[in-house]
Amino acid sequence: MNRNSMLAQLDENKTWDVLIIGGGATGLGAAVDAASRGLSTILIEVEDFAKGTSSRSTKLVHGGVRYLEQGNLKLVREALKERGWLLKNAPSVTHTLGFILPSFSFFQKLYYGTGLKLYDFLSAKLSLGKPKFISNKTIEKISPAIDQRNLKGGIVYYDGQFDDARLAINLARTAAKHGAVLLNYCEATALLKKKIKSADKQEKVCGVVAYDYMNNKTFEIKSKTIINATGVFVDDILQMDNEDAADIVTPSQGIHLVVDKKFFPGNYALMIPKTDDKRVLFAVPWHNKVVLGTTDTEVEYITDEPIPLEEEIRFVLEHANRYLKTNITQSDVCSMFAGLRPLVKTKGVTNTSMISRDHIIIVSTSNLITITGGKWTTYRRMAEEAVNNAIFVAKFEYIHPVTKNLPIQQSEFDSINYDDTIENIYSVENIKKFVEQEMAVSIEDILARRTRMLFLDVRKALLAATVVAEAMATVLQKDNNWIQIELDNFTQLAKNYLP
């Protein structure tokens, strides 16, 4: 997957079958689905692939135990199916993980135990293992950091875990393998429209005006269908189409704190079943660190680089500390990150944690197909529905989707040991592969998404920045001025990842 060879495939005279705006989970999934059905497919992403919400998740491939409590059985069952398929199709970036749910009374144990049995039952043949009751003694053995005071044992259940940004890059590579063209740092700045038939009352979308930030070039891309998969930004595209279109997204921020494994050793995750705002909170082992989160805060301002709020940091630490023997403080945080959920506006619901995590598809009168909401776990299903709609509006002959059993590309970088030396992880040879095979163009792309160092350990990422910048400059034949600008930009950005 090489940016120059992608650019070489652009042809202003060509009309694509499917054009996707947005290179997060949903858009990349749609590119894989459309290309693997044999449709000519192009995707443009204004930043880097997965720069937005799709690199900032809790890293769980799950049905959502919480949604079961809200009575949304259909959503849970669908997501559990997707969980099963994703674990099979992308084994290099996903795995099964055991979760401990601590109990403080017999009633609690029975209540959550019954719920988790139902959760497993709904996964049917794709079960990852039956939940079981465990004693305090077992908890001490498998997860010694959990505070045993007042504890009456607990339950172990199983869900999936993944590396979100690595999966995104692998999806991009899978789409490319099936013939899709994908461009990062390329923005859809306007929609092109025309009347398809003279009898049409309304103009239909037929392409976009795109801006390539790497070459400072504007060009047109023509396409028979357009999928708007821009996450929390879908309203911008909807309003490009129709300036009177109402907003459909309520953005809700969630943050994570990453701490050293010593605060929560072992191979199990912790699930805190009820926070003060009636949600769940996790402590999840990830790349030999522990991710704590998340929050659910309605925000006004939509950005691709949201910053955790002071009260969110306090909230996460306070809740984790209630369950752990050793108190974690702000100074123990190795990294923190925030993401914005594209929640679908729901009439009469004032609390974002109560808004359904289901997705929505809208086909505008211009034939613009907009898809948002949902979860990373359900990206494949969402993509399939979006492409089905594209086939319908363009009256293409129906081709069956194949992604349920389609292997997703794997990479040697899916299993990086982040405790290895900076020189080994960021050797010139590796940097060359990130640039030439995974379309990294900035040091942030390499430190935040091709590898996850920024999300795991900001201080180590800052130490690695110079090594990465110098190696990239060699590969891309850039001068010292470029190195300095890259280092300044990254240092500035990294400040947002520490409390």
Ligand X SMILES: Cc1cc2nc3c(=O)[nH]c(=O)nc-3n(C[C@H](O)[C@H](O)[C@H](O)COP(=O)(O)OP(=O)(O)OC[C@H]3O[C@@H](n4cnc5c(N)ncnc54)[C@H](O)[C@@H]3O)c2cc1C
Task: Check binding of 76 to ligand X (CB under 6 A).
Answer: no
From 46-54, 91-99, 128-136, 142-150, give the range in contact with ligand X by CB under 6 A: 46-54
Give the nearer residue to ligand X in terms of CB position, either 102 or 339. 339
Site residues (CB under 6 A) for ligand X, limited to 159-178: none
Q: For the window 123-142, what string marks contact with ligand X as x by the rule CB under 6 A?
A: --------------------
Site residues (CB under 6 A) for ligand X, limited to 255-294: 294
For tokens 């990842």, what's the residue? 497
From CA 233, how far away is CA 301, in angstroms rounded?
A: 11
Per CB under 6 A, the list member of 36, 57, 275, 297 interacting with ligand X is 57
Give the nearer residue to ligand X in terms of CB position, either 264 or 376. 376
- Alpha-carbon distance values, 212 to 27, 178, 308 (Å): 18, 23, 30
Task: Check binding of 374 to ligand X (CB under 6 A).
Answer: yes
The continuous run of DSSP H or E covering 21 comes out as strand 15-21
Q: Phi then psi for 6, rounded to 5 degrees?
A: -65, -45
Task: Check binding of 21 to ligand X (CB under 6 A).
Answer: yes
Task: Check binding of 26 to ligand X (CB under 6 A).
Answer: yes
**Residues touching ligand X: how many (CB under 6 A)?**
39
Give the nearer residue to ligand X in terms of CB position, either 207 or 374. 374
The continuous run of DSSP H or E covering 217 comes out as strand 217-228
Q: Minimum Å distance from CB 186 to ligand X? A: 7
Check if the beta carbon of residue 197 is closer than 8 Å to that of residue 55: no
Tokens of 468: 């990465």
Check if the beta carbon of residue 344 is closer than 8 Å to that of residue 238: no
The residue sitting closest to ligand X, measured at its beta carbon, is 24
Task: Check binding of 342 to ligand X (CB under 6 A).
Answer: yes
Per CB under 6 A, the list member of 1, 34, 39, 44 interacting with ligand X is 44
Give the nearer residue to ligand X in terms of CB position, either 109 or 279. 279
Site residues (CB under 6 A) for ligand X, limited to 405-444: none
Tokens of 38: 């044999």
For tokens 């060509």, what's the residue? 14
Check if the beta carbon of residue 163 is closer than 8 Å to that of residue 86: no
Q: How many CA atoms lie within 13 A of 457 on its CB side?
A: 18
Check if the beta carbon of residue 241 is closer than 8 Å to that of residue 205: yes
Give the nearer residue to ligand X in terms of CB position, either 43 or 134. 43
From CA 20, how far away is CA 10, in angstroms rounded?
A: 14
Give the nearer residue to ligand X in terms of CB position, either 340 or 473. 340
From 9-17, 116-124, 339-347, 484-492, give the range in contact with ligand X by CB under 6 A: 339-347
Tokens of 253: 């921020």
For tokens 């007042």, what's the residue? 150
Task: Check binding of 54 to ligand X (CB under 6 A).
Answer: yes
From CA 353, how far away is CA 372, in angstroms rounded?
A: 17
Q: Minimum Å distance from CB 253 to ligand X? A: 7
Per CB under 6 A, the list member of 6, 16, 20, 47 interacting with ligand X is 47
Task: Check binding of 102 to ligand X (CB under 6 A).
Answer: no
From CA 148, how far away is CA 165, in angstroms rounded?
A: 36
User: Closest Cα to residue 260, out of 295, 285, 282, 294?
Assistant: 285
Q: Minimum Å distance from CB 298 to ligand X? A: 12
Give the nearer residue to ligand X in terms of CB position, either 46 or 75. 46
Per CB under 6 A, the list member of 16, 17, 18, 22 interacting with ligand X is 22
From CA 188, how far away is CA 406, in angstroms rounded?
A: 29
Per CB under 6 A, the list member of 25, 42, 76, 87 interacting with ligand X is 25
E strand segments, 229-323: 249-260, 269-272, 281-286, 289-293, 297-298
Check if the beta carbon of residue 404 is closer than 8 Å to that of residue 47: no
Looking at 178-250, list the stretches that DSSP marks H as alpha helix, in order from N- to C-terminal side.
234-241
From 38-46, 260-268, 319-327, 400-408, give the range in contact with ligand X by CB under 6 A: 38-46
From 333-341, 384-392, 397-405, 419-427, give the range in contact with ligand X by CB under 6 A: 333-341
In the chain, what are the helix, strand and coil shares in percent, each to the nearest 5?
40, 25, 35
From 122-130, 273-281, 372-380, 433-441, give the range in contact with ligand X by CB under 6 A: 372-380
Q: For the window 178-217, what string marks contact with ligand X as x by the rule CB under 6 A?
A: ---------xx-----------------------------
Positions in the binding site for ligand X (CB under 6 A) = 21-27, 44-47, 51-54, 56-60, 187-188, 229-233, 254, 294, 304, 339-342, 372, 374-377
